[in-house]
Amino acid sequence: MKIGKKDFEIGKRTYIMGILNVTPDSFSDGGKYNTVEKAILHTREMIEQGADIIDIGGESTRPGYTKISDEEEISRVVPVIEAIRKETDIPISVDSYKSEVIEASLKAGADIINDIWGFKKDSKMAQVAKQYNATCLLMHNRDNTSYCDVMKDILEDLMESVKIALKAGIKPESIIVDPGIGFAKTYEQNLEVMNHLEDFTALGYPVLLATSKKRMIGTALNLEKDERVEGTVATTVVGIMKGCDFVRVHNVKENKRAVLMTDAIVRKYI
């Protein structure tokens, strides 16, 4: 898989997507990196620690988040994309479900669309992705937690997103899927998805796991968000053992070490 100017050898090793929230209200690090200068410093730090991709978010999607306008979101993410692009050719992902934000981001130098609604919220998203030849990260989401059969329904939902992408002319090799831990799922449902991640890898697309510091971990360990690093690392290891190819995390250094160790055992990557 080629993302931007970089080649990713799917199945050979696990790749790390480092989270860069340029928001005042994200659940874990809101307000920490919401200036270009702070964002660039954190990006350099994550790259030094082993990040393979930088994922930029301009609007928080935490439970109960406040929706912002396209213009405000663009004003947050585009200057950061441009600044990163001046320094490095590392692939840049943009976490947005709005086609106008994504188009502005791709024009500024982003490579990946990270859509938490899997192309179902904005009907223009798939065409924008096709126009700019972007890599598409399609996450499972819905507006309720009422499933007849949790895994069967989630897989069907996710394949609907894949079909939208394929119908728009997006190449299969440009698609990554995300089970959507923490979105439209109860605590028990999240655990069930984690325990059956191999079902997602069986779809035939690379899988990204995004669990970093989420409520599922806080509930399991009875810990606040700043104390969920070890729990996140545990989910990273489980994800790799079940075939995930990418992990999206806040704490790159700790997860990178876990990735290297697990890859050495599971994928014999040294």
Contact 45, 20 (CB under 8 A): no
Q: What are phi and psi for residue 95, nearest 5 degrees?
A: -90, 95
Q: Report the candidate in 205, 213, 201, 202 with the shortest Cα–Cα distance to residue 239.
A: 201
User: Which of 13, 213, 248, 256 is labelled catalytic?
Assistant: 248
Long-range contacts (CB closer than 8 Å, 24 or more residues apart) made by 30-33: 30/60
Q: CA 255, CA 49: separation in Å to the nearest integer? A: 10
User: Which of 214, 228, 242, 256 is labelled catalytic?
Assistant: 214
Contact 93, 114 (CB under 8 A): yes
Q: Report the candidate in 44, 46, 47, 110 with the shortest Cα–Cα distance to residue 73.
A: 110
Q: Is 76 a catalytic residue?
A: no
Cα end-to-end span (Å), the chain = 20
Q: CA 139, CA 115: separation in Å to the nearest integer? A: 6
Q: Is 214 a catalytic residue?
A: yes
Name the residues annotated as catalytic. Answer: 214, 248
